[in-house]
Amino acid sequence: MRLVLAVLLTVAIGALSWFLGFFAVRETFRQHFSESFPHVQGTVISSSVTTTRGRKGGITYHLNISYRYTVDGSEYTGFYYRYDDHPHDYSAYAIANSHPAGSAVDVFYDPADATDALLSPGADRQDMFTSFIVLAGILFLWLLPARAAQQPGLPWTGPEETGGVKVITEMMVTRLRMPRFPPLAIALVTTAILMLLAGVVIVTGLLPTPPWDTGECALVIVLICGAAVYAWQYMGVQSGRRDLIIDAGAQTVQLPLTWGRREQTLVPISQIRSVLLNKVRHRTKNGVYYTYAVILDMADGSQQKLADLNQTRADSLATWLKEKLGLPERFAEPAED
């Protein structure tokens, strides 16, 4: 059942990603490819500007223009100034005033379909900004299936009794693979943030290169950085530095390099008093939600945090650790914000 739900979620996110990407990025590509269109001289029929006011009082300007042009003896009427409907600010009036009815204009048309024409070809900074913002949003959407893929009960995750944490057994040594965040999730967030930053840099015009060329270079750099972050995180997980290592023969536990620990501390099992579950409260603008921290309570009074999971996974992991280490389990009510 969980596998079916994971597949359905992935399909749904994939469909939504395609929908957002198609309608938001399509116009950017159309604007770019229009740079290669041939052009003929046409005549403006009418030009005007209409406005709409948003809920917060902001005004959006819409340029309305029509023109006639002739291709291979056939006359056509066009209505696009740009495919992307830019500009939306007050400069729309300047364009309308510079294209009065009866004035001559250069009309760029698609040689494969002469009815498809516009007056201003080429992608601008706003096109690239919108495309990068949409791509960043799509990457954030994919965090949902990436997170769902970590839930126990799926073929590639750990067993139910450890809350989905992967267990590796080597003779008398048991490793629990416990990265704080999955490498894929970190790579997606990093890439999305870089996409946002790239979009801001492009729209502000800080770089002298044409918007499309800047966007191409930025996209390549962002994807390379995202792949590098994933490889770095993946190798960090595979190295075992983020594993909780239980040595039954030596009766020791080696703590992972997570939750602020800068070295793999080796502690005797006899120095671990119990396994705690701390209910952690998180406040957001949409309300409050809770997670559960799995903690080793040490004999010296310190506490070593191992994971922060939902209640079901945390209960399973804490119970497994308690049995594996032969320790009592306690539930600590105080919540952390």
pTM equals 0.80
Q: What is the pLDDT of residue 77?
A: 97
| C-alpha distances out from residue 71 to 38, 105, 108, 330, Å | 10, 14, 11, 82
Query: What is the predicted pLDDT for the residue at 264?
Result: 84
The region of weakest confidence among 15-29, 48-62, 164-178, 198-212 is 15-29
Q: What is the pLDDT of residues 85-137, one digit of tens each?
A: 888 888 999 999 999 999 999 999 999 999 999 999 999 999 999 999 999 99
Torsion 298-301-304-309 (CA) sign: positive
Give the pLDDT of residue 149: 62
- Please, what is the Cα angle at 56 between 52 and 61, to 5 degrees? 25
